[in-house]
Amino acid sequence: MTSIRQLSEQDRKTRAVANEGLPTLGFEEGTPYDDYVGTAALHGLQHTLTDAPEELAFLVTTQVMELYFGLLRTEWRLAQRQLDDDDIAAATLTIKRTVRHFEALNAAWAALSWLTPAQFNSFRDALGEGSGFQSALYRHVEFLLGSKSEALIRPHRRNPEAYEELVEALNRPSLYDSVLAMLARSGYAIPRAVLERDLAAEYKPSPEVEAVWAKVYGGPLAPLAETLIDLAEQFSDWRYRHLMAVRRSMGAKPGSGGSSGLSWLERSMQREIFPELWSARTLM
């Protein structure tokens, strides 16, 4: 990969004058754009398994979603470090940025909204047991949001790197755990049982935490609370759009990965993240 020569603001002004306002057209090797984005590598990743014209859109959309999962993971880890440092303003901005990422991620479902059962069936058999359920990065995203289950990391035992990362994520604080710990340090009455709970276990809503959030909304941390609600809403939208895409393209048929398909996704939608942020609204 050709190294990209960095330019200063003055360099760009000088270049614009020399080019008489036109873009630079000559490069000794590949264009800096291709070098930075890695376009050759990106466009070399689409290997369809059938001649069905619909498969490429399915594959590209799935790959785009995987890139967004990785982006969200990186951003939420940053937000956790900021929360651990009690830099609440920075953490709020980071989480707010991921709400926009999620909007783009959710919009990606539109690229498959036209997929009919006949079109999906034209390449579905070639996917074998491949299923989005098996995405290690999506599972990591769920764990970071506090939706945890030890059983769901088992498909990755043959992939040591992914498995180790998921085991670590399972046993580390979620983004919500980091928020609650910050609230405790800020003087809010988060119960010790919540702070010292088994982090690998599914989070159970607490009436005491619910009461804390009702108080938070009357203070300076209200913007953080609303940003978390925005994120939770986008995640719920993701699950709903996934459900509807499956319902439209395959109905209630069994899933490729061995699940019951539609009913499995319907049960998954019932697992709420940041639960007390929702229930506290009844107390306000």
Known binding positions for heme: 242
Residue 274 per-residue DSSP state:
S
What's the CA angle centered on 269, arms 250 and 116, to 5 degrees? 15
Longest dimension (CA), the chain: 68
Q: Return all residues near 128 (Cβ < 8 A) that are at least 6 apart.
A: 256
- Dist CA 212 CA 234 (whole Å): 23
Q: Which of 175, 180, 143 is nearest to 75 (CA)?
A: 175
Which one, of 208, 164, 158, lies nearest residue 183 by Cα? Answer: 208
Annotated binding-site ranges = 124, 242
DSSP 5: P
Cα distances from 182 to residues 62, 81, 139, 175, 215, in angstroms, run 35, 11, 25, 11, 15
Binding residues for substrate: 124
Classify 202 in phi/psi space as left (phi over 0), alpha (psi -120 to 50) or beta.
beta
